[in-house]
């Protein structure tokens, strides 16, 4: 059975969006609370140097990370996570994975949100 190594835990802040209040170009816009009103939790934060991308011949590195933490039901794909040490804001890329379906550990990948946060 896989058990993640939850060593070197760092403080992270979960920002849960409120229901869409307005629409921008026909799409509901999510509003996130201030960082001071977020939910504090602890987890591992591994960047592995980011993710390499090549779009239309342009090479770039996207700032991504993998987070592992104790299972929480409030962490969803539409949430954002703030690294409390650096203040960097990340969005969850895909649905968090319930490791081994035991409701003990979560693993998910995040991408940094830049400009307009």
Return phi, psi of residue 14, to 5°: -95, 125
- Which residues does residue 91 pair with via DSSP β-bridges, in sequence order? 80, 111
Q: How confident is the model at residue 117 (pLDDT cuts 50, 70, 90)?
A: very low
- pLDDT digits 0-9 by tens, 42-98: 999 998 877 788 888 888 888 899 999 999 999 999 999 999 999 999 999 989 999
Burial label, 66 (beta-carbon count in 10 A; 0-12, 13-18, 19+): middle
Q: How confident is the model at residue 27 (pLDDT cuts 50, 70, 90)?
A: confident
- Which residues does residue 13 pair with via DSSP β-bridges, in sequence order? 40, 82
Q: Let me know: does 96 contact 85? Beta carbons within 8 Å.
A: no
């Amino acid at each position: 059975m896989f058990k993640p190594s939850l060593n070197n835990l760092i403080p992270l802040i979960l920002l849960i969006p409120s229901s869409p209040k307005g629409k921008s170009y026909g799409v509901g816009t999510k509003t996130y609370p201030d960082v001071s009103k977020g939910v504090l939790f602890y987890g591992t934060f591994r960047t592995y140097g980011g993710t390499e991308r090549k779009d239309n011949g342009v090479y770039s590195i996207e700032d991504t990370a993998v987070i592992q933490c104790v299972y929480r039901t409030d962490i969803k794909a539409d949430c954002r996570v703030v690294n409390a040490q650096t203040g960097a804001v990340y969005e969850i890329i895909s649905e968090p994975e319930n490791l081994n379906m035991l409701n003990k550990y979560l693993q998910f990948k995040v991408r940094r949100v830049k400009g307009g946060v």
